[in-house]
Amino acid sequence: MSEIWVLVDTAQDKVRNVTYEVLAAASKLKEKNSSTICAVFIGESSGAIEDDLGKYGAEKFYKVENPVLKDFNPSLYATALSEIIKKNNPDIVLGGNTLKNQDYLPRVASRTGAGLTIDAIDIDISSESALQVKRYKYSGKSIATVSFHDVKPMIATIRLNAFKPIEGSGSPEVVSETVDLPVDDNYKVIETKIIPKERPELTEADKIVSGGRGMANGDNFKIVYDLADSIGAGAGASRAAVDSGWVPYEMQVGQTGKVVSPNLYVAVGISGSVQHYAGMGSSKVIVAINKDPDAPIFQKCDYGICGDLFDVLPVLTDEIKKLG
């Protein structure tokens, strides 16, 4: 029976929610071709995550555990995944569109002769059992459908928040794989620093509040943070705000920043350039707050407030806090 593989993403020894989202995407494909959904872990130790993976749709669990995989190394990870792909011949390999997967999956595609697409917003199976991927192009101005032909495996990364996890029940079959990996490699991790975050990571956040050039300076971002904290949202920014030095680059949303897809995106003092929209255009609901009635963001939002953000945001935040 054919297999659909879902790469397990972890952070601090916990399965990231994007893994469950991609398992939901695999379940959609399974309805068409009845493949076996398999979770695939590569790292030092998977711990006891198989039950959680089974609960979200995994029927089989491949794991490659090796001390040299403790820290992410794109070369070693590519070697490990490529070798078990060659051994087991899955039809489809899916992963979240995370920085890690963007880094090493092109190497895997090269080593296995696979096809690869990045940042899918939807996937399907054609009548010829080929993977079909929908993804944005031209900075989000259009959606292209990419179809694989005469190539296996078919590898794709899925945009975070594109699918909603489907909870069920199940206990996957566990398969331990052994791959010969070199102890010495061209890459060496010297140090890993984990920066504590007060708010949700942007790429995984269900809600995001972002500030732009209209914030005028970095100190004024306090009102963005206040609104974000009142609704449990992540805090983002436009490139203009980052380039001005008001906030760090890790907050940048857009074509040259992070691509996000929350259920709610609040754009504060952001004009709505094509480049910014490319990074958040797939948000389910977009709310714009801007004093310029001709700002392009008003042509792209679901709800708009034309007014001075310094008047609107404090009142909006207070009203939300009253509801909480």
pLDDT at 198: 84
Please tell me what DSSP assigns to residue 32: H
Percent of the chain exceeding pLDDT 90 equals 80
What residues pair up with 287 in beta bridges, in sequence order? 266, 303
Label residue 188 by pLDDT band (50, 70, 90): confident
Assess whether 171 and 39 both reside in one domain: yes
Strands, sheet with 3-7, edge to edge from the N-terminal-most edge strand: 115-120, 154-158, 92-96, 3-7, 36-43, 60-65, 173-177
Q: Say if 251 falls within a structural domain.
A: yes
For residue 98, what are the domain limits? 3-177
Instruction: Name residue 112's amino acid.
Output: T
Contact 190, 75 (CB under 8 A): no
Q: Say if 58 falls within a structural domain.
A: yes
How many CA atoms does the CB half-sphere of 47 hold within 13 Å? Answer: 11
Assess whether 147 and 10 both reside in one domain: yes
pLDDT of residue 45 exceeding 80, the answer is yes
Question: pTM for this one?
Answer: 0.86
Can you read off the two tokens belonging to residue 13? 């020894």
Prior bond to 262 cis, omega within 30? no
Q: Say if 22 falls within a structural domain.
A: yes
The domain total for the chain is 2
Instruction: Name residue 123's amino acid.
Output: I
pLDDT at 194: 76
**What is the rounded CA–CA span in Å between residue 203 and residue 197?**
13
Please tell me what DSSP assigns to residue 16: -
Q: Regarding predicted confidence, which is higher, 198 or 178?
A: 178
pLDDT, tens digit, 9 for 90 and up, residues 278-292: 999 989 999 999 999
